[in-house]
Amino acid sequence: MLREGRPLSFYILAFIFTLYVLFLYGPMLAIYVLSFQGPEGGLTFPMNGVSLTWFSKLFAGGGIVDIGAAFWRSLKLGLVVMMITVVFSVAAGMAFRKRFAGSAFLFYTAIASLIVPSIITSLGIALEFRVLDDAVKLHAADWGFPKLAEDWTTGMGLFTSGLGAHLTWTLPFGLLIMFAIFNRFDSRLEEAARDLGATPWQTFRHVVLPIILPSVVGIGLFGFTLSWDELARSSQAIGSVNTLPLELQGLTTTVTKPDIYALGTVTSAVSFLVIFAALFAIRALQKRQERQGSDAGSGLV
């Protein structure tokens, strides 16, 4: 049996695709390799030795910026954003399954921040908190809190204005994902549960949540990674402290050592760790659903 060879166009397209992949991931691989430079190494090839020197300096707490503190701030903020995004997205997805007065207006309001430039959103949040600060300083004594007026500095911070800025980015994505999930959800499963006497909470916990749980894990992954990498919305609204992306931006203009490459490697490692953990959890949940489905089918037989 004769085997027909591949046409020339296949090899041309394969070559173009290879160049595209190298263009896309080549800089990342170069950064990962250069982050293992020796103590006397620079920012270019050839490498001058191999060591973990630059990784140890990241969390030493010295130098121009405190990378270790920024790392933990971003990690804590990302986890809080992830949890809030999951809870509010699932709740909103459940609410929007039935039409109610003002639902269209509320939906467009919720996703409007996706089309507004991020820096404008950040500036708007910062302005809101500056107005709040001025109001507290001017009127706290009139409201019966003179001590508050004296001690008040600003309401801006990591878990106030910073948290709000990140949620304006993550919540619309979580809401859109839940819309897609519930658009394909078979409501007859809920009707069967209610016919069997289940309460609304029991129906959600034992019927709805197990089915949508892989997607909920995906929303959590989305929320964390979007917060972990966010720069523009943090730039004006984060307050007196910096997240890791902001520190990384500062390092690009203040140092010329492989510290910055080591930082890029660490941040990428955290992102990959979260992604693979989420994929593992999603796959485990899917296998569990498949086993439960096969057990139920065998029981009917």
Quick one: pLDDT at residue 90? 92
Quick one: pLDDT at residue 231? 84
pLDDT (average), residues 59-65: 58
Average pLDDT, the chain: 81
Quick one: pLDDT at residue 61? 54
Which of the 8 DSSP states describes residue 258? Answer: T
CA distance 207 to 292: 12
Q: How do residues 111-146 score in pLDDT, each as one tens digit? A: 888 888 888 888 888 888 888 888 888 877 777 777
Quick one: pLDDT at residue 300? 46
Q: Hey, which bits of 137-268 come out as E strands?
A: none
Closest C-alpha among 235, 270, 236 to residue 76: 270
207: Cα separation from own chain's centroid = 27
Residue 98 has pLDDT above 60, yes or no: yes
Closest C-alpha among 73, 71, 70, 35 to residue 54: 35
Quick one: pLDDT at residue 295? 55
Residue-by-residue DSSP string for 134-172: HHHHHHTTTTT-HHHHHH---S-STTTHHHHHHHHHHHH
Higher-scoring residue by pLDDT: 274, 290 = 274
Proportion of the chain above pLDDT 70, given as a percent:
88
Higher-scoring residue by pLDDT: 300, 125 = 125
b/e code 22-33 from CB counts within 10 Å (16+ = b)? eeeeeeeeebee
Q: How do residues 6-17 score in pLDDT, each as one tens digit? A: 788 888 999 999
CA distance 268 to 284: 24
Quick one: pLDDT at residue 83? 94
pLDDT (average), residues 15-33: 87
- When pLDDT is cut at 50, 70 and 90, the band that residue 194 belongs to is confident
CA atoms within 13 A on the CB side of 294: 5
Q: How do residues 223-266 score in pLDDT, each as one tens digit? A: 898 888 888 888 888 877 888 888 777 766 655 567 777 777 88
Count of Cβ atoms closer than 10 Å to residue 256 Cβ: 11
Quick one: pLDDT at residue 272? 84
Q: How do residues 134-191 score in pLDDT, each as one tens digit? A: 888 887 777 777 777 777 788 888 888 889 889 998 999 999 988 888 888 888 888 8
Q: What is the amino acid identity at position 186?
A: D
Closest C-alpha among 74, 261, 52 to residue 66: 74
Quick one: pLDDT at residue 88? 93
Quick one: pLDDT at residue 59? 65
Proportion of the chain above pLDDT 90, given as a percent:
9
Model pTM? 0.77
